[in-house]
Structure 1
Amino acid sequence: MADLVCRNFDAADETRPFLAGMGRLDLLETDGGQVGRAVFEPGWKWSEHIKPLAGTESCESAHTGYVVSGRIRIVMDGGDAVEAGPGDFIQAAPGHDAWVLGDEPCVVLDWTGYGDYARPPSG
């Protein structure tokens, strides 16, 4: 384990674009696992722009993150919902949809749920 690390998401180890140019996921590999920065563009919705990549009915990633900017609505399959904005800590279990609110990109840092997120199908 490194004693001190400073990395920038603009020089990510991997970048995964979302469908229709609706944003991207920038991933950093760290000793503690992957850390991601997602940039969700206005109009982005998981069920439209990630579902075709994931191949599941709802997002099956668990997320632990922090909203840097913009606003996002997360709705669990069971109906519970939250609206999160700048400065909010969020946790979402598998089984949800989400979409950007308003006309500003939503930027979210996540340290648990982006490892396989928006990964194009293999083969």
Structure 2
Amino acid sequence: MSPTPAQQARAARLTAQIAELTQAGFILPGTLTDRMTRCGYANCRCHADPPQLHGPYHQWTRKINGKTVTRILSDDQLADYQPWFDNHKRLRELITELEELSLEIAENDPRWNR
């Protein structure tokens, strides 16, 4: 089954955006979170009532060979790498949209009803 002209145009837009994104630079996979923590010192302000936690700490978590790896980023590192994290997120969104379009076309193929 051939895609409709509208589906072909949508796929062309998606692939052009993916190409543009990959030309733009680097991507970093993983999850970024800001954490506030308590330390191990009983008399520290983080154990007071109300607590004044330490942080925020910029935490980057990802999988390497099936294991979770976490790194703490400095403010400078976060500023440098944030566009790379944003690029990865956008790339995943575009690929998911292209996959959904492809599935829609494949599922509407009349040859499945043989």
The normalised TM-score by structure 1 is 0.22
> More helix per residue: 1 or 2?
2
Larger-Rg structure: 2
The normalised TM-score by structure 2 is 0.23
> More strand per residue: 1 or 2?
1
